Amino acid sequence: MTITPEAPTLNAPVDVRFTKAGTPLAVRYDGRIWAVTEEPVHWFTRDSWWETRRSVPVGVGNVVDIEHWRVQVRLGGSDTQLRTFELRREPLAEQWVLEAITDI
């Protein structure tokens, strides 16, 4: 699957398995396990929470950091085409979403 101009983002829920060091090891998407093959790239962006929420309860934690990972993946145990997954987790969310897929 490749993102098209008609569908620039997927926002599909995914399960991410992490190493003990906290880096992605595998991604479960569309019923398949995709193994991370290269060193992933990790960064944070900021959410403008004041534009989406009227207030934030005291003591809820971090409401501004959106976490991102860019990982290169293959279907587990195969020689399939390498793909890049862009993963995102919103502040206070438990669920990771697959924001975009690109073919390499």
94 — pLDDT class (breaks 50, 70, 90)? confident
pLDDT per position as a tens digit, 6-35: 445 689 999 999 999 999 999 999 999 999
The whole domain housing 46 covers: 12-103
- What is the count of structural domains for the chain? 1
E strand map for 19-82: 24-29, 32-36, 41-46, 65-75
Residue 5: what pLDDT? 47
Q: Is residue 34 part of a domain?
A: yes
Q: Is residue 6 part of a domain?
A: no
This prediction's pTM = 0.81
Q: Which two tokens stand for residue 26?
A: 């595998």
pLDDT per position as a tens digit, 49-90: 677 666 667 777 777 889 999 999 999 777 888 999 999 998
